[in-house]
Amino acid sequence: MKHLTVTAAILVNNNEILCMQRSFNKYDYISYKFEFPGGKVEKNETFENSLSRELKEEMNLDIDVKKDQFYETINHKYPDFSITMHSYMIYIDKREFELKEHKSFVWLKKEELLTLDWAEADIPIVNMLIRGEKQWQ
């Protein structure tokens, strides 16, 4: 089975988390699902550099992702492939970005996160956020 290594950013502003809706995909179990922005790690990239690059490509955000922003690693098997997803929690002071690849987005308080239809791999992270683990200093 194909395996992907992915990075994802939990972007937080004013106690709300940025939730991005994926565009159409041939696999219905990820098509139009909500996720955290990011993408596949390329050869010879660190996870942090990979996430900085994806945030620039997908949203035109300039963020220098740091190791100490690491949040959690999730392993998940979808029917056609498996992923290892490294997530980072990043506080940002402005909400402006460009919606280049996603279908839509919404900022939600952690208590509201389960109102969305998330990609299955994200559910453990969403539950950690709801429980308030490793955040809200």
Ligand X SMILES: Nc1nc2c([nH]c(=O)n2[C@H]2C[C@H](O)[C@@H](COP(=O)(O)OP(=O)(O)OP(=O)(O)O)O2)c(=O)[nH]1
If binding means CB under 6 A, how many residues of this protein chain bind ligand X? Answer: 14
Binding flags for ligand X, 17-36, as an x/- string (CB under 6 A): -------------x----xx
DSSP state of 41: P
Contact 68, 134 (CB under 8 A): no
Task: Label residues 98-123 b or e (16+ Cβ within 10 Å = b).
Answer: eeeebeebeebebeebeeeebbebbe
Binder among 11, 17, 38, 48 for ligand X (CB under 6 A): 38
Binder among 11, 65, 113, 121 for ligand X (CB under 6 A): 121
119 near ligand X, judged by CB under 6 A: yes
40 near ligand X, judged by CB under 6 A: yes
Q: Is the dihedral of CA 38, 116, 73, 111 positive or negative?
A: positive
**Which residues lie near ligand X (CB under 6 A)?**
4, 6, 8, 30, 35-36, 38-40, 83, 85, 119, 121-122
